[in-house]
Amino acid sequence: MISATLANFGIVFVGSVFLLTAIAKISEPWKFAQHIAQLRLFTSGLIEPITITFIAVEATIGTALIFGATPAIMIPFSIIILMGLSWLTYWSTSTGKTEDCGCYNGWLKITPNQSLLLNLLYIIFLGVGLIGNYNTGTILWRWMIVIATFLVSYTAASASLAYLDIHGYPFLDLAPIQANRPWQNQWLGEAVDLDLSLGSKLIVFMSPRCPQCKDWLQVLKIVHDCPELPDVLGVVAFTNYDEMRWFVDSYQLNFSVVALDSVAYDRLKIDTVPTAVIVEDGIIREKWVAGMPASFVQRIKQALSVA
């Protein structure tokens, strides 16, 4: 006979994981939106609403498990969700669409196999909880908290993405590369010799696996060719030289591309691509994350109309 204490511990533990991973996504929802985009299962117009809804549902499940809201329904539902996410992780990583599960939004660096093992552990905890939990009723206030969690998390994720769309940079950004700071040449490694103390340069951090980065390439080639606009420098996380050569040749890039390993990306906290900065006379004037602001798009149109 499984004790109620042991059963409840497993349920609360898994609920806490759901809630904490939702909080991680709320703080930086664009990273999870990019992960969803990499799956290539949805059109671009659906990425943002799916991201927000998933985050809100994840937070709601966590709260429901923690507070014991209708466990006879929520526990089996949570197990089904974990099984579905496990299959999605296996499929997306084995086909090369993503490198990890995206579950922890970069807060926890684990391999796909480690993610699958953790999901199995969570399912076992919930299974034990389902067998040993004797709470069949639900007090009204518990569901009020659950509903409030959905509304608050949905609103917070929406507001965070809206802030990024409006300003071009996230509300919470701990990366060393920030607007109005001097550009540091060592950020790109000792092998890259650039003098950015004079002139204007658009530096774009990309990934060969990023669909949005590929959408940017044609625009970046136009920008680089236009004398009224900054020169473009691509910074791409490659695993080897052949991959870099293939990327440059396949898209016939007319601007310089330098390789930066994943360790350097982590050090610079480039968690979302494309990330771009405009450096003017050695100072970072603008920083964009995940999107090109309307002001720069308008600048491109004006430059092309003059040309």
Under a CB-based contact definition with an 8 Å cutoff, are residues 263 and 186 in contact?
no
How far apart CA 141 and CA 139 sit, in angstroms, is 6
Question: What would the pLDDT profile of 219-277 be if each residue is shown by its tens digit?
Answer: 999 999 998 999 999 988 776 777 777 888 888 889 988 888 777 777 887 878 888 99
203 Cβ partners below 8 Å, 6+ apart? Answer: 232, 233, 235, 276, 277, 278, 279
This prediction's pTM: 0.72
How far apart CA 171 and CA 263 sit, in angstroms, is 24
Spell out the domain ranges in the chain: 4-167, 185-306
Question: What would the pLDDT profile of 13-59 be if each residue is shown by its tens digit?
Answer: 999 999 999 999 998 888 898 889 888 899 888 999 999 999 999 99
Under a CB-based contact definition with an 8 Å cutoff, are residues 213 and 207 in contact?
yes
Indicate the SS3 state at residue 98: coil
Of residues 77, 189, 155, 92, the one with CA closest to residue 123 = 77
How far apart CA 73 and CA 65 sit, in angstroms, is 10
Indicate the SS3 state at residue 135: coil
Higher pLDDT, 100 or 135: 100
Q: Check residue 215 and give its pLDDT.
A: 85
How far apart CA 209 and CA 206 sit, in angstroms, is 9
Residue 3 clears pLDDT 60, i.e. is over it: yes
Instruction: Quote the CATH superfamily of domain 185-306.
Output: Glutaredoxin (3.40.30.10)
What is the token pair recorded at 283?
């100072």
Question: What would the pLDDT profile of 97-106 be if each residue is shown by its tens digit?
Answer: 888 888 998 8
Looking at residues 110-131, what average pLDDT do you find?
Answer: 93
